[in-house]
Amino acid sequence: MGSLSYLPQILVSGLGIGCVYGLIGIGFCVIYNASGIVNFAQGAFVMLGGMVTFVLMQRAGLPLPVAAVIAIAGVAGLGVVVERLVVRPLWNRNATMFVMILATLAAQIVVERSTLLLVGDQPKTLPMFTDRPPLMLAGVAISYQLLWIVGCSLAVVGLLALFFRTTRTGKAMRAVAIDREAAALQGIPVSRMLALAFALSAALGAIGGILITPTQFTAFDIGVPFAISGFIAAIVGGFGRPFGAFLGGLTLGVIQSIAIVSFGAGLKNVAALSVLLVFLFIRPSGILGPAK
Amino acid sequence: MTAAAAAGPAEVLATVGLTARYGSIEALAPTDMHVEDGELVAVLGPNGAGKSTLLRALMGLVTNGGTVRFRGRPLPRRDPVAVAASGVVLVPEGRGIFGPMTVAENLELGAYRLGRDKAEFERRWTRVFDLFPRLKERLGQVAGSMSGGEQQMLAIGRALMADPKVLLLDEPSLGLAPRVTAEILETLHRLNQGGLPVILVEQKAPLALKLAKRAYLLSVGRIVATIDPREITSYDDIAKHYFA
C-alpha cells in the first residue's frame, strides 16, 4: 500500500491523463451522436497522433508545432477514409451495431499492424513542449507538459463547444444527433456530417496522443488501452454527451492515478475497469445522465 | 411562360406508379397522384391506410419504386436530402422538431441550404413570424418544452425557412386541441392562397376538405377515390371507406 500523502500531486497528474481520456471520450460521443456507431478505431487515431508527429520530426526534420499540425490534419483525413471505406458501406447495408464494432476494431488492427511494419516495435517519444524543470506550487510539482495538456485540452473543449453552439455546421451536426431523419428532411447532408464526425473525432484522438506522448511514449500498440479508457470516460460521463465525457475522463484519470499510487501500476487497468463496473451498476446513465 | 402554364395550372409534383415496401410487405400499391400550381390537395384515409407511407415514399425515406416528378423532372428516389434540397419539404408526422435546441436554432436549420444570403434569410425569418407571431416570443426557448400546438407551428415555420416549392404535411392536427388545429389550418390556407402548393395528409377528413381543391382517398395502401370537395353533400361515401 503506497502513501496517499502526495494526494495533491496524484490529483494533478491524474488530471493530466484525464484530459487526454476526456478528449478520446469526446471523440466517441461525436461519432456516436452522428451515427449511433461506437468507433473502436478511436485508439488508432491516438497512437497515430504521436507516431506521425514523431516520424515527421525524425525523418523530415520538421519542428514540433508544424509536425503536430500536419499529424492532426493527416489523422483527421484518415478518419474520413475509415468512415468511407469501412463504416459507410456497412451503414448503407443497415449493419448491426455488433458488426459495426467488429469492423472498426478490424480497422484498428490494420492501422496498428501497418504501423508496426512501417516504424517497427520500438517505443518512440516526443520532446517536452517546454523543456524546463517543473514548477513547484505549494509542494506540488507541476510539469510544463501538464500545463500544455490541460491548457490545450480546455482550449479544444472550448472551441468545440463554440463550434457546436454557434456555427451552422455545428448546429447541423447537433440536429443530426437529435433526429437524423428530421435533419435529412431539412436538406442537411447527413452523410457528410458523419464523415465530418469521423474527422473531428480522429483529430481529437490525435491531439490527445500528441499531448500525452512526451510524458510517456508511443508505440504501435498503445491505441487499445487509450481507446478503452476513452470509452470508459464516455460511459462515465453519460454516453453521447461530449462534455460529460470530458468530466468522465478527468474522473477516470484521477481515480486511476490514486490506484497506481495505492496499489501499484499493475492495477491501473483494473482500476479503470472497476470504475466502469461501478458506474454501470450504480449510475448507468453516467454523471450527466443519458443524452436523449 | 411555358405553354403548359399558359394553358392552365401546371403540374408541380406528381407520383407515377410510386410504391413503397417495408421488407417484403408492400405498403403502397403503385400510386399516381399530383398537385398543381397553387393547389391544396388532401390525402385522406383511415389510420394505417398508407397516407404517411405515401409521403415517406415521395421523400425517399422508405424503400420505394416508381417515379416522383417535380416540375417535369424525376426526383432522386432514395435521397431525402436531395429531395428536400430541391424544394419539396415535408413536415413529418410527430413534427420532428429538434427538441433540445432552441426555437431560433430550429428555424435557422430550416434555412440550412440557404447558406449565407442574409437578405433572403431575413425575408423568410419575417415571413415565419408574420404567420406565427407566437414563435417570435419563444425564440430563446428550448423547442421541446413548448406546447404541442407551438411545436407544430415551429415545425411548419422551420419548413418555411427552407422556402419550399411544395409543402407536404403529415397530420398536422395530430394530438392538438380543435382550436389550435383550426388556427394551424387557417395558416396553411393563407400560405396556399399565397401560391404555395400543399399536400395535406389528414385523418380528420372534414377539416381537410374545407381547404382542399382535390382530395385523394387512400385505403389499404392504394388510392380508392379522387374527391372534388364541392361535390360532397354527405360524408357517407368517405365514411364507407373509413369503416371498410
Give tens-digit pLDDT for A4-31.
Answer: 567 888 888 899 999 999 999 999 999 9
What total of structural domains would you count in chain B? 1
Nearest CA in chain B to A292: B100
User: pLDDT class for A35, splitting at 50, 70, 90?
Assistant: confident
Q: What is the pLDDT of residues B140-193, one digit of tens each?
A: 999 999 999 999 999 999 999 999 999 999 999 998 999 999 999 999 999 999
Most A CBs within 10 A among B112, B118, B163, hence the mutation to make, goes to B112
Q: CB–CB of A176/A36 below 8 Å?
A: no
Cα–Cα distances (Å) from B25 to A237, B21, B46, B170, B221, in that order, read 42, 5, 19, 22, 11
User: Which residues, 6 or more positions from B116, have their beta carbon under 8 angstroms from its beta carbon?
Assistant: none
Could you identify the residue written with the cell 517543473?
A: A134
Nearest CA in chain B to A177: B98
| A187–B162 CB contact, under 8 Å | yes
CA distance B98 to A18: 32
Bridge pairing between strands B40-44 and B25-36: unpaired
Residue B234: per-residue pLDDT? 66
B92 within domain boundaries: no
Higher-scoring residue by pLDDT: B237, A176: A176
| A188–B90 CB contact, under 8 Å | no
B122 within domain boundaries: no
Domain boundaries defined on chain A: 7-282
For the domain that residue B207 is a member of, what is the CATH number?
3.40.50.300
- Residue B36 sits in which domain range? 3-87+165-242
B156 within domain boundaries: no
Q: State mean pLDDT over A246-263.
A: 91
Q: Give the fold, CATH level 3, of A7-282.
A: ABC transporter involved in vitamin B12 uptake, BtuC (1.10.3470)
Q: State mean pLDDT over B113-136.
A: 94
B235 within domain boundaries: yes
Residue A292: count of CB within 10 angstroms of its CB: 10
Residue B5: per-residue pLDDT? 43
Is 70 exceeded by the pLDDT of residue B99?
yes
| A185–B101 CB contact, under 8 Å | no
Q: State mean pLDDT over A123-152.
A: 89
| B61–A168 CB contact, under 8 Å | no
Q: Which residues of B touch A182 (CB under 8 A)?
A: 92, 96-98
B24 within domain boundaries: yes
Residue A1: per-residue pLDDT? 44
CA distance A227 to A224: 5
Nearest CA in chain B to A165: B105
| B84–A185 CB contact, under 8 Å | yes
CA distance B223 to A28: 47
Q: What is the pLDDT of residues B2-42, one digit of tens each?
A: 444 444 578 999 999 999 998 888 899 999 999 999 999 99
B66 within domain boundaries: yes
Angle between the N-to-C axes of helices A7-35 and A144-166, in degrees from 0 to 180, rounded to the nearest 10: 30
Whether this model's ipTM surpasses 0.85 comes out as yes
Nearest CA in chain B to A173: B109
CA distance B67 to B30: 10
